[in-house]
Amino acid sequence: MKHYSSVIIGHITVDQNIDYQDNEIIIPGGAVVYSSASAYGLGHNVLAITRVAKNDQDRLAAFTIPKENLICIDSEKSTDMYNHYLTADKERRICVCKSKGTPFSEKDIPDDITADIYHFAGLVYGDFSNDMIKAMSKRGKVAVDVQTCLRHVNDEDNGSMYFEDWKDKMEMLPYIYYLKTDAAEAEIMTGLKDRYEAAKLLYSWGSKEVVITHNTEVIAYDGNQIYACPIKSRNLSGRTGRGDTTFAAYINERLTHNIKDSLLYATATVSLKMETPGPFKGTRKDVEAYIDEFYKDEK
């Protein structure tokens, strides 16, 4: 029986990213890639489970984790994404799902493994069922990035994507230990523009720890205190994967550290990562050096 700090489940993609000046970068992506990279870079033993079509196996090279820490399941189609960022801060974008992979199910999680956390790193609504989330909550703490609960694909409009509230949130949030949103997603779920108040409301609906990312900071709330840590990236060339990098770093750090320290490491990791396109490829020592240089006031 193999044990992992977290099992991260989600589709790998190829992202076609176009910035506000119409510069194009085509790069492998997906929450499972960015999440596993940051957790592994900080020294955590993680397992990634993904799906990809047989003729797209080459995209698995984007993972930074050891091959033995990766399970790839055949999919009829791979997931492919198009992102057009409309502003320099990359907070506004047009997203299109050009191809959608086969959803995951409980049987995709091997019986001969255990984990402290089961991290649902999906891309669109339908990647996971409610029953799968409930089932994994019996095996460990469940972590969910609500992107996979709010972001819908309009198959009748060439895969354009739109956000709408999670109709099952009141039923499902009590099964989720760690919940991650960005500020816009938190507003969709709660109707509140104030992300601090949104975090408190999401907690009151059942999640045990709420993490909300913003272009200026990351906050975490555990029902007792709001913690905040500023993002200090010197450029945004690696903006894609911000939330995934942050969330995986945070929840894996939380297994052995308090909220303040976990948030510091997660925010420093994503600040460093966002200075370079692609998943985080640094080490814990790199993050600690970044903290020493830019986060002395936060320690």
Is pLDDT at 20 greater than 90 in this prediction?
Answer: no
What are the tens digits of pLDDT across the range 74-119? Answer: 999 999 988 888 888 777 788 889 999 999 999 999 999 999 999 9
Is pLDDT at 299 greater than 80 in this prediction?
Answer: no
More confident residue, 27 or 260: 260
Structure token pair of residue 197:
């108040």
b/e for 94-132, b at 16 or more Cβ within 10 A? ebbbbbbbbbbeeebbeeeeebbbbbbbbbbbebbeeeb
What are the tens digits of pLDDT across the range 208-247? Answer: 999 999 999 999 999 999 999 999 999 888 888 899 999 9
pLDDT of 168 reads 97
Structure token pair of residue 136:
């994994």
Cβ-contact 173, 202 below 8 angstroms: yes
The number of folded domains in the chain is: 1
Q: What is the DSSP string of the chain?
A: -EEEEEEEE---EEEEEE-TT--EEEEEE-HHHHHHHHHHHTT--EEEEEEE-GGGGGGGGG--S-GGGEEEEE-SS-EEEEEEE-STTS-SEEEEEEE-PPPP-GGGS-TTEEEEEEEE--SSTTSS-HHHHHHHTTTSEEEEETHHHHEEEEGGGTTEEEE---TTHHHHGGG-SEEEEEHHHHHHHHS-S-HHHHHHHHHHTT-SEEEEE-SSEEEEE-SS-EEEEE---S--TT-TTHHHHHHHHHHHHTTTS-HHHHHHHHHHHHHHHTTSSSS----HHHHHHHHHHH-GGG-
The overall average pLDDT reported for the chain is 94
Name the pairing type of β-strands 217-221 and 226-230: antiparallel
| CA gap 127, 121 in Å, rounded | 9
Cβ-contact 27, 82 below 8 angstroms: no
pLDDT of 176 reads 98
Determine the structural domain holding residue 94 and report its residue range: 2-298
For the chain, give the number of residues: 299
Strands, sheet with 24-29, edge to edge from the N-terminal-most edge strand? 24-29, 13-18, 79-85, 93-99, 160-163, 151-154
CATH number, position 287: 3.40.1190.20
pTM for this model (two decimals): 0.94
What are the tens digits of pLDDT across the range 241-279? Answer: 899 999 999 999 999 999 999 999 999 999 999 999 889
pLDDT category at 195 given cuts 50, 70, 90 is very high
Dihedral pair phi/psi, residue 215, rounded to 5°? -70, -15
